């Protein structure tokens, strides 16, 4: 038994010696032979081989924060790899980690660690959006735009997005409401003149001009979120009262006429009348064909 073991050991050594003799001279001397990056997994990639993602949802980068990150990278290296996809044998496209990539360039690194993932254009864009949403340094508008892109371009529902990013559906809804704000208010949110709570409250005003008026009041008076919510109620109250007053001016007889016209013409006819019997009838239409149908119903004839 011992002889067999010894023979096996001796055979293993001879095989090892034979392999060493067959190996390239560089390997014999202990030189490192650099292997090409794997198709997937983590690898060290040259910075010059990585191109940015043109669909990157993030548009603002704090220069001071980038400099601080670059200093940290010079001292400790890049601890968290970026994520890329392979374009060809020598080039890659960034999926996520543009801030780390920019800071690594400032730190004058030649190569950095990267997760290489297989992804087509759609998968890459979707992954980039989702991974960026999960980061804490995007501003609220950038997050809202990312959610909207997932809905518009990839037909994802709010429920599906909720599952993928680990957020409540109500949170996603609140972010999407920010896109209904006037651009000046969106800019104020980006620049931290107002908080997410202020912006959510202001989104409750539909009219953009009124939104801006309320926004300026919030800034001028330095209102809290609660005070902003009360302000929005004040701006919305006159519109609601006006609508209710308009409806109240119609008697049952007028309301019956309006109902019959809507039924006969197949469109949302609006009848208005004052106490003196003066008023107007509005007949909306959705297309030329729809208008012609209405004209036929009321017996319109060209001269």
Given 21, 27, 63, 98, which residue is catalytic?
98
- Is residue 98 annotated as part of the catalytic site, yes or no? yes
- What is the chain written as a DSSP string? -HHHHHHHHHHHHHHHHHHHHHS-HHHHTT---PPPPPSSEEEEEEGGGEE--TT-S-----HHHHHHHHHHHHHH---S-EEEEE-SSS-EEEEE-HHHHHHHHHTT-SEEEEEEE---HHHHHHHHHHHHHTSSSS-HHHHHHHHHHHHHHH---HHHHHHHHT--HHHHHHHHHGGGS-HHHHHHHHTTSS-HHHHHHHTT---HHHHHHHHHHHHHHT--HHHHHHHHHHHHHHHHHHHHHHHHTS-HHHHHHHHHHHHHHTS--EEEE-TTS-EEEE---SSHHHHHHHHHHTT----
Active site residues: 98
């Amino acid at each position: 038994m011992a002889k067999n073991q010894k023979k096996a050991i001796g055979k293993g050594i001879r095989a090892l010696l034979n392999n060493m003799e067959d190996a390239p001279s560089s390997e014999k001397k202990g030189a490192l032979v650099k292997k090409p990056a794997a198709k997937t997994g983590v690898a060290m990639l040259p910075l010059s081989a990585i191109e940015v993602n043109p669909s990157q949802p993030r548009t603002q980068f704090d220069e001071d924060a980038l400099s601080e990150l670059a200093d940290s990278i010079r001292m400790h290296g890049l601890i968290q790899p970026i994520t890329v996809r392979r374009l060809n044998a020598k080039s890659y496209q960034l999926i996520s980690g543009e801030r780390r990539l920019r800071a690594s360039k400032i730190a004058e690194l030649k190569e950095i660690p990267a997760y290489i993932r297989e992804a087509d254009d759609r998968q890459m864009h979707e992954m980039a959006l989702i991974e960026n949403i999960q980061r804490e340094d995007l501003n609220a508008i950038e997050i809202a735009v990312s959610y909207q892109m997932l809905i518009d371009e990839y037909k994802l529902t709010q429920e599906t997005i909720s599952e993928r990013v680990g957020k409540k559906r109500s949170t996603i809804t609140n972010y999407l409401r920010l896109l209904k704000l006037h651009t000046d208010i969106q800019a104020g949110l980006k620049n931290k003149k107002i908080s997410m709570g202020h912006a959510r409250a202001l989104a409750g005003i539909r009219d953009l001009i009124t939104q801006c008026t309320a926004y300026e009041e919030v800034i001028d008076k330095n209102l809290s979120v609660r005070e902003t919510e009360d302000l929005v109620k004040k701006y919305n109250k006159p519109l609601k009262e006006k609508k209710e007053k308009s409806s109240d001016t119609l008697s049952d007889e007028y309301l019956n006429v309006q109902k019959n016209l809507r039924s006969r013409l197949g469109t949302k006819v609006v009848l208005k009348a004052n106490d003196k019997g003066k008023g107007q009838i509005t007949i909306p239409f959705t297309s030329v064909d729809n208008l012609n149908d209405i004209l036929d119903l009321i017996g319109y004839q060209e001269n």
